[in-house]
């Protein structure tokens, strides 16, 4: 089955760290840009970060800038989101989505547009809870 699967969520104390994974099944992530976004209960969906075809092409939203790193490991067919100094307001379900590289203009434009429903693949999410 062709799918994206997120993992790595869980309960963490404020100030802690988590590494989320977005792994592709039955297709190759090499040809796709990846977006991470999140949604907390009762709140609107919010962009987190995106990566293009290489780890030199990234974008971060202000809410996570300086605390998070997105990077891809094509050998593992996985994109990671390393999140540090976590805050209670980071609590949400985190999703990843994949967009075919030849269909995007820039990673920043893709990320800021946030049209996840139009991307080629989307995962079902992993829950992150930041609480003491």
pLDDT in tens, 65-124: 999 999 999 999 999 999 999 999 999 999 999 999 999 999 999 999 999 999 999 999
**Strands in the chain per DSSP E:** 3-7, 10-12, 18-25, 32-39, 46-51, 58-60, 68-73, 78-83, 92-100, 121-122, 126-130
Dist CA 112 CA 129 (whole Å):
25
Q: Which residues pair with residue 40 across a beta bridge?
A: none
Query: Quick one: pLDDT at residue 1?
Result: 87
Residue 39 to residue 60: CA distance in whole angstroms: 16
Distances (CA, A) of 84 to 51, 60, 90, 111: 18, 14, 10, 21
Could you give the CA distance from residue 128 to residue 112 in angstroms, rounded to a whole number?
22
The pLDDT-based confidence of 62 (bands split at 50, 70, 90) is very high
- Across residues 19-33, what is the average pLDDT? 96
For the chain, percent of residues with pLDDT exceeding 70: 100
Q: What is the mean pLDDT of the chain?
A: 96
Q: Does position 43 have pLDDT exceeding 90, yes or no? A: yes
């Amino acid at each position: 089955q062709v799918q994206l699967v997120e993992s790595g969520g869980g309960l963490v104390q404020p100030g802690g760290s988590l590494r989320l994974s977005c792994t592709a099944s039955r297709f190759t992530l090499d040809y796709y840009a990846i977006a991470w976004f999140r949604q907390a209960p009762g709140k609107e969906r919010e962009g987190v970060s995106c990566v293009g075809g290489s780890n030199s092409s990234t974008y971060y939203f202000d809410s996570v800038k300086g605390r998070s790193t997105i990077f891809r490991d094509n050998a593992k067919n996985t994109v990671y989101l390393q999140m540090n100094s976590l805050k209670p307001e980071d609590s949400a379900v985190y999703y990843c989505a994949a967009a075919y590289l030849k269909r995007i203009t820039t990673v920043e434009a893709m990320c800021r547009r946030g049209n996840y429903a139009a991307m080629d693949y989307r995962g079902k999410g992993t829950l992150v809870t930041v609480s003491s």
